[in-house]
Structure 1
Amino acid sequence: MSDGEEVRVDCHVKVLNDDVVERATRAGLDAIVYAPHFTRLPEIRERAAAYSSDDLLVVPAREVFTGSWRDRKHVLAIGLEEPVPDFIPLEVAMAEFDRQGAAVLAPHPEFATVSLGEPELRTYAETIDAVEIFNPKHLPSHNRRARELCDMLSYPPFASSYAHLPSSVGVAYTAFETSIDSEADLVDALENRVARRVIHDNGPRRIRTTAGELAHLCYENTWKKADRLFLSGIEPTHPGHIAYDGRFDDVALY
C-alpha cells in the first residue's frame, strides 16, 4: 500500500464462491472476511485459502453462536488458532478468544435477539475490538442504534455486507489506513484500532440488498432449520463433536 491508499475490507461474508470473488473484485475490495454458519475452522481455512489470490485476500473467521438457541449472542472472531464451538456460554467463548489472541468483533449489535447488547458491550470492553455500525440487513433504525452504541462506548467501527447472498458483496466495507496482506495484518489492524472509514451504498442497491437479505433471514431462522442444523448434537460445530476433544463438554448448552 502506498501513502494515502486505503485497504478495503468487507469484514463479514457468509458465502464464498467464484461469483463472490468476482463481485468483490469488481467492487474494488482488497479483502473479505469469510465466516459461514455452523462450519468448523479447518474447513473455513481451507476454503478461504482456495479462493485467495493476489487480487483478493480471503480471511477465515468464525461467527460463534454463544448461549442457547433462545438466548444466542453472535460474536465474530478473527485469528483463531484452535476451533471454538457454538452453543457455549458467552463468557467461555470470550475467554477462549482472549487466550488465543483473536480479534473480536461485535456484529449487528442489538439486532433480532441474536446479538450483543449494551450490557455485553460494556462487560467485554477489554476483549471486543470493534462494533459493526452498518450492514444492509439492518433497517435504518438498527444502523442508527449501532452507531449510537459505538460512539457512546468509544469503540472503533466497522461495516460489512453480512452477505448471505453473493449479490450483497460490495454494498458495504471498511477502509483501513494500513497495509493488510494477511490474516495477521487484519488482526493487528483491529486490535491496534487503526484508523478506518466505514463506507456503504445508501441508494437503490442497498434497498434491494436489504429486502433480499431480510427474506433470507426469515428462512434461516425457522425452527425447522434450527432443529435440522444443530439440535441433534452431531453437527460440526456442536460442542460435543469429537473434533473438540471433550474440552467443552462441561459447558455445552445442548
Structure 2
Amino acid sequence: METRVDCHVKVLDETVVERAIDAGLDAIVYAPHFTRLPEIQRRADRFSSEELLVIPAREVFTGSWRDRKHVLGIGLEESVPDFIPLEAAMAEFERQGAAVLVPHPEFATVSLTEADLRRYRDVIDAVEIFNPKHFPSHNRRARELADLFDYPPFASSYAHLPSTVGVAYTAFEASIDSEADLVSAFTDGVARRVVHQNGSRRWRTTVTELAHLCYENTWEKVDRLFLSGTEPTNPHHIAYDGRFDDVSVY
C-alpha cells in the first residue's frame, strides 16, 4: 500500500482539493501562516473526505522577524505560538509527541541551519529535500544536509498558490488514514520515496511561488507588523493564557 502525501500546503479551498485529487494525492498537510491550531483543525476537517485526507499542522515562526526559523509540527494537541525561540518550540513539540519536520533547510533567512540540524538530531523526524520554491542548488544542499545527519527525507509543494499543489509529494509505503497514521509514519521512519515534477511546469511554479514570496516578505510583512495589531499566533495573545509570555521575543 502506497500513500501519496503533499506534506505542506498553505492554502485550502475547493480548488486546492480538486487539484490534489487530480494529482493523485491521498492526503495533504495544511499548515497556513499565522493561524491558531483550532482554526486549522476546523478547516482541515471541513475539507477532508473519503477522496482526500486533510491533516492539520503548524509551521511555527521561531525567533524574531530578523532571525526567524521555520519548523513544522504535525500531530499537535495544543497550540504553539510564533515568535518564541527555536529551543522553546522544539521542547513544546517534543512534549506533545508531534512529528517534527524541517522545511526548506538553509533557504534564505527563514530556515534551520546545519548547526540546528546537528543540535536537534534526536528531535527532528524528517528534512525536506525538494521544495519547488528552491533552485536546483538549494535542493541539492537540502539533500546533502539530510544525508549528512541520516535524516529521512520528505517533499512538499509548499503551495502558497492553489496551482502549486501536487507538484511535489512524498509517497509512503504504508496506509495513512489519519493524522496519527502520518505522525507514526514520520516518527517510525516508514519507507518512502520523494516525487516531484520537472520541466516547464516545475519552473513556472518556481517563478510564481518566488514572486509570491517577495510579496509576502514586503507589503504583507509591513501590514502584519504595523497595521494589523497583534497576530493570532503572537505569544501574548489571550488564547495562550500567558503560557509563553516568558519566552516571547516580542
TM range (shorter): over 0.9
> What's the counterpart of residue 235 of structure 1?
231
- 3-state DSSP of counterpart to 2:146: helix
Does residue 1:206 correspond to 2:202, yes or no? yes
Name the CA distance, whole Å, in 1 between partners of 2:98 and 2:223: 30
| Cα displacement (A) at 1:234 | 1.7
Does residue 1:69 correspond to 2:65, yes or no? yes
> What's the counterpart of residue 161 of structure 2?
165
CA deviations 1:58-117 (Å, max 9, x no partner) are 000000000010000000000000000000000000000000000000000000110001
> What's the counterpart of residue 100 of structure 1?
96
Name the CA distance, whole Å, in 1 between partners of 2:247 and 2:141: 32
Name the CA distance, whole Å, in 1 between partners of 2:72 and 2:224: 19
Name the CA distance, whole Å, in 2 between partners of 1:242 and 1:228: 21
- 3-state DSSP of counterpart to 1:197: strand
- 3-state DSSP of counterpart to 1:126: coil
Q: Which residue among 219, 226, 235 is the counterpart of 2:221?
A: 226
Q: Which AA in structure 1 matches 2:181?
A: D
Q: Is the 8 A contact 1:230 1:238 kept in 2?
A: no
Q: Which AA in structure 1 matches 2:221?
A: A
Does residue 1:194 correspond to 2:190, yes or no? yes
Q: Which residue among 7, 16, 26 is the counterpart of 1:11?
A: 7
| Cα displacement (A) at 1:227 | 3.4
CA deviations 1:169-222 (Å, max 9, x no partner) are 111000000110000000000000000000000111101000000000000011
- 3-state DSSP of counterpart to 2:66: helix
> What's the counterpart of residue 46 of structure 2?
50
> What's the counterpart of residue 248 of structure 2?
252
Q: How many residue pairs are counted as aligned between the two chains?
A: 249
Q: Which AA in structure 1 matches 2:155?
A: A
Q: Is the 8 A contact 1:233 1:240 kept in 2?
A: no
Name the CA distance, whole Å, in 2 between partners of 1:233 and 1:90: 23
> What's the counterpart of residue 91 of structure 1?
87
Structure 2 counterparts to residues 111-122 of structure 1, below 5 A: 111-122=107-118
Name the CA distance, whole Å, in 1 between partners of 2:164 and 2:177: 24
Unmatched segments (≥5 aa) in structure 1? none
Q: Is the 8 A contact 1:174 1:198 kept in 2?
A: yes
| Cα displacement (A) at 1:229 | 1.7
Q: Which residue among 25, 30, 38 is the counterpart of 1:29?
A: 25
* Identity, % of aligned positions: 77
- 3-state DSSP of counterpart to 2:137: helix
Q: Which AA in structure 1 matches 2:73?
A: A
Does residue 1:180 correspond to 2:199, yes or no? no
TM-score (norm 2): 0.98
Please tell me the root mean square deviation across aligned C-alpha atoms, in Å: 0.9
Deviating beyond 4 angstroms after TM superposition, the runs of 4 or more aligned structure 1 residues are: 230-233
Q: Is the 8 A contact 1:177 1:196 kept in 2?
A: yes
TM-score (norm 1): 0.96
